[in-house]
Structure 1
């Protein structure tokens, strides 16, 4: 053998490059879709507009996401990944503090919250392209919340519930508050109401102070 390192087989190098390029394009599509949904709402966000924002043809976009529903699921999956990354960066906070911060953050992005709410409701129908995503997501979220609550509080929360019994309530309250807030943002203060629920749950949060004026959606 010579002292020079051998190059990887050409096919391997080319294949790895293609996979990286595909991942970059997929990420660009998801970010473009997320931006447009935030700007216009999901119903007014077309595949053509997403393709243009991402610098692709519509046919190129369809190669990654064959229909709009699957693109929206991809956006929600990406949102979850980015939220988890943010939570990891703030890992010094307790689990309920992180949840309250997530609710605060969601109050700044109604377009994505609306997309999630509509898709999750539609997904209960048989054969919906997002059904498998939401079935898996809700199971994973309940398990993750139960683990987080157990890590923070032990086998019984201050209010007397086990983490497994409290986890579905947390999910239900978060999603239910999002729906009420989307329908009536001037009268439903989603972050304050969530903190009120944490206080009722006995998780150690103080009830939110009542604002001087009606809450405003961003």
Structure 2
């Protein structure tokens, strides 16, 4: 059953309603990033926000609706950050470098968001934590990078290769570095970003005889 607000667009909500929804989304991000998705209940969110559970349900019909709104906000901010930095570059090589650095830089500066993404999009082995349709579509996750690589090929800047395969390889390397950093925060992510850029350029630039 939908709440009174779930089926309304954001521009029809009052200032107070928008502020309350934003507060609940931020509380949800906090809890998922610190406690994990399974422990983030509606009761826990309500307590963290200083509200009743009924007040939470007034704005979001269920935990799933609220956590999906939190994930959507995280992904929207992440995508906007990367897109803005890529769009600032007109050269294909510089755009790819900007993409790799932005992917690492955003996650370095937004550890909470990384936790939300890993908690909600990555399988825990039992398949119970997958809440987003198509979350296992790994190629789709890296489609923007594949398009940048294909554009560079059309411009004659990159060697012939399958953009999807290379985007998966580069994306997997980024995921691997971030995963290690989450477990070992002492990892120098700035140095890691330099290595990821070198790895990517070695994979895509023309090979010298």
**Structure 1: gaps (5+ residues):** 1-14, 206-218
TM-score normalised by L of structure 1: 0.64
1:3-152 equivalences under 5 Å are: 20-21=12-13, 24=18, 25-34=20-29, 36-37=30-31, 41-43=34-36, 47-48=42-43, 50-51=45-46, 56-62=51-57, 64=60, 66-67=62-63, 71-90=66-85, 91-93=87-89, 94-122=95-123, 125-126=126-127, 128-132=129-133, 134-136=135-137, 138-152=138-152
Structure ID, larger Rg? 1
1:197 equivalenced with 2:201 (yes/no)? no
Q: Which has the higher contact order (CA 8 A, sep 6+)?
A: 2
Runs of 4 or more, structure 1, over 6 Å off, are 15-19
CA contact (8 A) 1:33 1:75 kept: yes
Alignment of 1:131-210 (within 5 A): 131-132=132-133, 134-136=135-137, 138-154=138-154, 158=158, 161-186=161-186, 188-202=187-201
Report the Cα distance in structure 2 between the residues aligned to 1:121 and 1:163, rounded to whole angstroms.
24
Task: Give the TM-score normalised by structure 2.
Answer: 0.67
**Cα 1:124/1:140, change in 2 over 3 Å:** farther
Taking structure 1 as reference, are residues 33 and 195 closer, same or farther at Cα in structure 2, changes over 3 Å only?
same
Unmatched segments (≥5 aa) in structure 2: 1-6, 90-94, 205-209
Measured on the aligned residues, the alpha-carbon RMSD in Å equals 3.7
| Matched pairs, number | 186
